[in-house]
C-alpha cells in the first residue's frame, strides 16, 4: 500500500491507498495521523506496516482519490541522509564538475560508500512546495533519487526524493559539500510512502525526471534503480554503523539522471520526478 498524509484543518489524516481505493485510517484510529505512528505500532507488534493496516482498511471510510493531489510531506523525518556516487553517470558528472576529479572515482570503486547528512525537517519540503537554489551558486541541478524510509534503522518503505545540489560550489572544492547540499529547501520527498512489501525489489524500478520552464520541456530522462552500484541494504548498513540513527529517517540512494553540463535551474522552473510503483513528486524552484 501507499500512505499519504493529507492536511485536515490544523492536523493531518493518514490515508492508505491500495491502487483501487483510498482509505482514511485516521477515521478508524484518531491518533493514527501519520506514517511514523503506524511504523511504530508495527514495530511493537513485530509485523509489517501493511499487515497492521489491513484490518483498519476493512472498516475505514474511503476518500476521493482526487484528494491525494493535496498530499503533504508524507513523513517529517528526524533526519535525511544521502548516498553519493552510487551510479556510474553520477561519478562521471561529479568528475566533470570538480577540480579534484580523481577522488570521485576512488569513492565509486571503494568498499565504503559516501554517506552524508542532507537535511533537517525544517529544510525538507513536500509535494507542490518549492525547492531551493542558493543565491550564491551559479550551477544548480535537481537529483532524482529513490528514498529509503526507515524506522529505528529498519526499512519500512520507499519514497521519491530530490537531492538539490549546487554543482558549482561542490566543484570548486569537495570540502564545500555541506554548503552545496545543506541549505533552506534543499530536499524534497513525496508524494507518499510505498510500503516495503508493495515495492518488492527496490533495485528494479523505473525512474524519470522532467524539468520545464514556462511550459517548455528543458530536460527529460529515464533510468532504472538497477543501475545503482550499491544495494539499499548496504547503504542502510553503513548509515547505521557506529551512528545513533534517529527514530524516523530517510536515506536517499543517489542519482543516475544528470542534465547536460550547460543546464542550470532557475526560479519558477518545475521539476517532476516519478518512480514506478511509488508516485510522482512535483516541485517548483525558488532562490533562497
pLDDT 10s digits, 203-240: 999 999 999 999 999 999 999 999 998 999 999 999 99
SS3 content of the chain, % helix, strand, coil (to 5): 30, 35, 35
Give the residue from 19, 47, 70 where a domain finishes: 70
Give the residue from 70, 96, 122 where a domain finishes: 70
- Chain mean pLDDT for the chain: 93
Residue 10 lies in domain: 2-70
Backbone angles phi, psi at 96, to 5 degrees: -65, -35
pLDDT tens across 95-141, in order?
A: 555 555 566 556 667 788 999 999 999 999 999 999 999 999 999 99
Same domain, 53 and 126: no
Beta strand 130-133 with 279-287 is parallel
Domain count, the chain: 2
Query: Which grid cell is 266?
Result: 532557475
Same domain, 51 and 171: no
The mean pLDDT value for 4-32 works out to 96
pLDDT recorded at residue 140: 97
Same domain, 33 and 99: no
Per the confidence metrics, is the pTM higher than 0.85?
Answer: yes
Higher pLDDT, 29 or 112: 29
CA distance linking residue 22 with residue 2, whole number of Å = 9
> Which whole-number Å values give the CA distances from 56 to 20, 21, 53, 63, 197, in the listed order?
16, 14, 5, 14, 17
Same domain, 121 and 228: yes
Same domain, 161 and 96: yes
Contact 265, 163 (CB under 8 A): no
Give the residue from 70, 87, 121 where a domain finishes: 70
pLDDT recorded at residue 117: 97
pLDDT tens across 33-85, in order?
A: 999 999 999 999 999 999 999 999 999 999 999 999 999 999 999 999 999 88
Same domain, 180 and 248: yes
The CATH number of whichever domain residue 116 belongs to comes to: 3.90.850.10
CA distance linking residue 288 with residue 267, whole number of Å = 10
Same domain, 20 and 109: no
Same domain, 248 and 179: yes
Question: Does pLDDT of 171 surpass 90?
Answer: no
The mean pLDDT value for 261-278 works out to 96
Question: Does pLDDT of 276 surpass 90?
Answer: yes
Same domain, 194 and 283: yes
Same domain, 99 and 183: yes
Same domain, 247 and 191: yes
pLDDT recorded at residue 89: 59
Question: Does pLDDT of 91 surpass 50?
Answer: no
Same domain, 20 and 120: no
Amino acid at each position: 500500500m501507499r500512505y499519504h498524509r493529507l492536511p485536515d484543518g490544523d492536523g493531518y489524516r493518514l490515508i492508505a491507498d491500495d491502487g483501487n481505493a483510498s482509505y482514511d485510517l485516521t477515521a478508524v484510529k484518531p491518533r493514527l495521523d501519520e506514517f511514523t505512528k503506524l511504523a511504530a505500532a508495527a514495530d511493537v507488534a513485530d509485523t509489517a506496516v501493511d499487515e497492521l493496516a489491513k484490518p483498519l482498511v476493512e472498516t475505514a471510510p474511503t476518500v476521493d482519490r482526487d484528494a491525494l493531489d493535496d498530499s503533504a510531506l508524507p513523513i517529517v523525518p528526524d533526519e535525511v541522509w544521502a548516498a553519493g556516487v552510487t551510479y556510474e553517470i553520477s561519478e562521471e558528472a561529479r568528475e566533470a564538475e570538480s577540480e579534484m576529479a580523481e577522488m570521485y572515482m576512488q569513492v565509486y570503486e571503494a568498499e565504503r560508500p559516501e554517506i552524508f547528512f542532507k537535511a533537517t525537517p525544517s529544510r525538507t519540503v513536500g509535494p507542490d512546495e518549492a525547492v531551493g537554489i542558493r543565491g550564491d551558486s551559479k550551477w544548480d541541478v535537481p537529483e532524482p533519487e529513490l528514498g529509503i524510509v526507515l524506522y529505528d534503522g529498519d526499512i519500512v518503505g520507499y519514497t521519491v526524493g530530490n537531492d538539490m545540489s549546487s554543482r558549482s560550489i561542490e566543484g570548486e572544492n569537495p570540502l564545500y559539500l555541506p554548503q552545496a547540499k545543506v541549505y533552506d529547501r534543499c530536499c524534497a520527498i513525496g508524494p507518499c510512502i510505498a510500503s516495503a512489501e508493495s515495492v518488492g525489489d527496490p533495485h528494479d524500478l523505473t525512474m524519470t525526471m522532467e524539468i520545464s520552464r514556462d511550459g517548455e520541456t528543458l530536460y527529460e530522462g529515464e533510468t532504472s534503480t538497477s543501475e545503482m552500484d550499491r544495494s539499499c541494504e548496504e547503504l542502510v548498513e553503513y548509515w547505521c554503523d557506529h551512528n545513533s540513527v534517529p527514530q524516523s529517517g530517510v536515506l536517499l540512494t543517489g542519482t543516475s539522471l544528470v542534465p547536460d553540463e550547460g543546464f542550470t535551474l532557475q526560479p519558477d522552473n518545475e521539476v517532476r520526478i516519478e518512480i514506478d510503483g511509488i508516485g510522482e513528486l512535483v516541485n517548483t524552484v525558488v532562490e533562497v
